[in-house]
Amino acid sequence: MTTTEAPLSVDKPRSSTRPAARRSNFELYSWVFMRLSGVVLLFLVLGHMLIMLFLDGGVHRINFAFVAGRWASPFWQLWDLTMLWLAGLHGGNGLRTVINDYSRTNVTRFWLKILLYCSILLTVVLGTYVIFTFNPNIG
């Protein structure tokens, strides 16, 4: 026969066990960012896939020369740069909320987020580096 551990009376009814609000707008901005970047990505990604996979011979014409020709234009550089940054941050922020929701312990949450932030940083920095330093003559 065991007894329940719950106290029969409330010790301090008005004391809060929740941490005080941090007065940070980070969650608000990340929520707004997800909506806005989602709309922009819709055009960027669908446009990218249309050009790369369907128009004018589609995927069969893609080779080094094709990519070099595209990145000779600042317009396509900017397009790919925006797409890279928005997709990296949008996807990363989405995964951040998934990790926040599903991690069972704070330790798992911390390390998963570290792994996530490192991979975002790596992808975005490396991609940006390639877009700006791409040398068409190495082919």
| CB closer to another protein, 31 vs 132 | 31
**Sign of torsion over alpha carbons 61, 63, 65, 66:** positive
**Binding residues for another protein (CB under 8 A):** 1-2, 4, 6, 14, 16-18, 21-25, 27-28, 30-32, 97, 100-102
DSSP assignment letter at 18: S
Structure tokens at 87: 């997709």
| CB closer to another protein, 11 vs 56 | 11
**CA-to-CA dists, residue 122 to 11, 84, 89, 92, 119, angstroms:** 50, 12, 12, 12, 5
User: Minimal distance in Å, beta carbon 116 to another protein?
Assistant: 16
Alpha carbons within 13 angstroms on the beta-carbon side of residue 2 total: 3
User: Minimal distance in Å, beta carbon 120 to another protein?
Assistant: 19
User: Minimal distance in Å, beta carbon 2 to another protein?
Assistant: 6
| CB closer to another protein, 25 vs 63 | 25
User: Minimal distance in Å, beta carbon 97 to another protein?
Assistant: 8
User: Minimal distance in Å, beta carbon 67 to another protein?
Assistant: 38
| CB closer to another protein, 15 vs 133 | 15
Rounded to an integer, what distance in angstroms lies between the CA atom of residue 13 and that of residue 84? 51
| CB closer to another protein, 17 vs 135 | 17
Rounded to an integer, what distance in angstroms lies between the CA atom of residue 72 and that of residue 94? 33
Rounded to an integer, what distance in angstroms lies between the CA atom of residue 130 and that of residue 128? 5
